[in-house]
Structure 1
Amino acid sequence: MKKIAFVALPAAVALTHPTAALAELPEPVRAMIDAAIASGDEAAVRTVIDLAKQTNPDDVDELDAILGGYETDLSAAKAEAAAMEEQEIRSAGLFENWTGKGELGGFRATGNSSNSGVTAGLSLTREGIDWTHKLRARADYQRNNGVTSREQYFASYEPNYNLSDRVFLYGLAQYERDRFQGFSARYAVSGGIGYQIVDEPDLQLSAKAGPAYRVTEFVDGTSESRVAALLGIDFDWSITDRLKLTHDTNAVAETGGSATVIVDSNNTSLNLVTGLNAKISDKVSARVSYAIEYDSNPPVGAVQTDTLSRVTLIYDF
């Protein structure tokens, strides 16, 4: 959900109620308040005025007038800054306002293959006023003595449109490839509605659900297409300024032709990813994650459950 962020106001912002107009206030007190206002630090201004009230009880009315004038100008400056930021977002080009994360490290897999190898990931996000666009890609690869023992690729594009502060519409286009799970390609498209259950500075929880359509191309040359239902859950908890716990769930339940009877589904795919991020610097984080990938009806010769443990470094850009 897009939120307008305010920065400290510049010292050049002028007050409509200058402190110099209040001659009864001692000059040293006026100078401290003027210096706090010039710093652009709202908390400092309020602290200085509170202290001035305690040390100059006879001048409380004058100090309240200063604070009132400051708050009036502060509100006007914030509104102007928000309007300018919104205009910049609305006028931004297609390739502007993207943020991203690059990830590189190692993995340990069990299930259809048991090995260790290299993992790499990329995520890009573009947040607008009403729209949010997310691009995700990941690759796990391992090769020993000229033989590939792990080869998994994943890519997705998800646009979201905000209907309100908490309700949004989503779309999803997804591609997967994992020969060791028995398919050379799996495509899925979905669209539906989502809800921001919790939206706090240190805790976010959202859920989405909707119909889907999935095409699977198996390694033996056969393929199948099915109507499905998609459920997604996204959880982020900033435990401290440098430590974050994340959990993502994506489940796609296929049916024989109807997206309404999930209980009688032909094949349910479940992907659970839990991770712990530790910030090393403003741009670099270390991440430990554990993923469970489950297919209720895998191809002949494949097992239902794979697990992936990853240790990676993440760079924000």
Structure 2
Amino acid sequence: MTSRLPAYAALLTGLCLSAPARAELPGPVKAMIEAAIAKGDKAQVATVVEFAKETNPDDVAEIDALQKQFLAGVAEKEKARTLARQEAIRSAGLFDNWHGKGEVGANQSSGNSENIGVSGAITLERNGIDWRHKLRLRGDYQRSNGATSREQLLVAYEPQYRLSQRAFVYGLAQWDRDKLQGIDGRYSMSGGLGYKVLDGTAVQLAIKAGPAFRHTEYSADSQTSRLAALFGYDFGWKISDRLALSQNSNMVAAGGSSGTVFVDSRSTTFDILSALEAKVSDRLTTRLSYEIKYDSNPPPTKVKTDTISRFTMVYGF
């Protein structure tokens, strides 16, 4: 019995030596994976890798190694691009990296007047690493029977500092004039907290609130200064990717709304602006908007609610 052990050992050794070695990943399969990697599309590489694993289950480890190496390279490139963008932002001058929209068109109003006039607006925005700056200028002007019947102007600057992915701190400095409502100039300042309730690709909603101070100069040579509270929101909705209007034109439709409410011991005022935009080219957009302005305690002979509809052309820059 003991003498047979060397013979069994020799037999097992021979079987091991004669067993075929596991083949490497077939050349065509490896070439297919490398071709997908060369294009740099992560989704395409994932699809090719999935099929390669199904047809070559013995080579899963090698296939995973190829994908892991590719993903590591992609992550390194993305990190380098992010660092480059951040450095460009840090080294940018005060007037660099601004983008915005210019808007001009006609308007039809109801409330204190029933007239047709001209509307114009400019919106500028600058996004940094943690800071976001917004500057808005808007004006509406009307004349009726040789006399000015509407003169509304607004200038607002709002910086925001990001606290987290959704939370932020805001500041607001705003000046507006509404001759029709008997206001020569109204100065508003506010600061507080905001939060992005929805932050998706198609729908965004941000809310904010904080204390405010308002100084109002009336046409009747009187003025008031009061502490107030501000509540505001910004809503955006990309309705569809493409909406065909004809055989030769396409447009992207988007809707949105923004509102600001001031509450003090004397009155409550709010300004709500809703709009529907149709993008007809990379820079040109048509815009239909409707604005409601409300003052619970307006000057004598003035109504509480004023509305204005605008149809404008918007140019992005």
Letter paired with 2:115:
N
Q: Secondary structure at the match of 1:31?
A: helix
Question: Which deviates the most, 32-41 or 137-146?
Answer: 32-41
Contact in 1 for aligned 2:134/2:157 (Cα 8 Å): yes
Provide structure 2 residue ranges, at least 5 long, that are not aligned to the other structure.
1-22, 242-251
Q: Separation in 2 of the partners of 1:164 and 1:68?
A: 30
Structure-1-length-normalised TM-score: 0.84
Q: Larger Rg: 1 or 2?
A: 2
Question: Which deviates the most, 175-184 or 83-92?
Answer: 83-92
Offset at residue 56 of structure 1 (A):
4.3
Letter paired with 2:254:
K
Q: Separation in 1 of the partners of 2:27 and 2:142?
A: 73
Aligned residue for 2:263? Answer: 253
Letter paired with 1:117:
G
Write out per-residue CA displacement over residues 206-234 of structure 1, whole angstroms, 9 at most, x where no aligned residue. 11111111111111222111111111111
Aligned residue for 1:176? Answer: 176
Question: Which deviates the most, 73-82 or 25-34?
Answer: 25-34
Q: Separation in 2 of the partners of 1:96 and 1:41?
A: 32
Alignment of 1:53-72 (within 5 A): 53-72=53-72
Offset at residue 58 of structure 1 (A):
4.7
Write out per-residue CA displacement over residues 3-58 of structure 1, whole angstroms, 9 at most, x where no aligned residue. xxxxxxxxxxxxxxxxxxxx944444333333322222222222233333344455
Offset at residue 124 of structure 1 (A):
0.6
Aligned residue for 1:274? Answer: 274
Q: Separation in 2 of the partners of 1:238 and 1:224?
A: 41
Q: Secondary structure at the match of 1:230?
A: strand
Q: Separation in 1 of the partners of 2:149 and 2:188?
A: 25
Write out per-residue CA displacement over residues 70-113 of structure 1, whole angstroms, 9 at most, x where no aligned residue. 11222222222222222222222111111101111111111122
Aligned residue for 2:108? Answer: 108
Question: Which deviates the most, 150-159 or 66-75?
Answer: 66-75
Q: Secondary structure at the match of 1:239?
A: strand
Letter paired with 2:39:
S
Write out per-residue CA displacement over residues 228-255 of structure 1, whole angstroms, 9 at most, x where no aligned residue. 1111111112222322221111011122
Question: Is 1:162 paired with 2:162?
Answer: yes
Q: Tell me which protein shows more helix as a share of its residues.
A: 2
Structure-2-length-normalised TM-score: 0.84
Number of residue pairs aligned between Structure 1 and Structure 2: 285
Q: Secondary structure at the match of 1:196?
A: strand
Provide structure 1 residue ranges, at least 5 long, that are not aligned to the other structure.
1-22, 256-265
Letter paired with 1:306:
D
Aligned residue for 1:200? Answer: 200
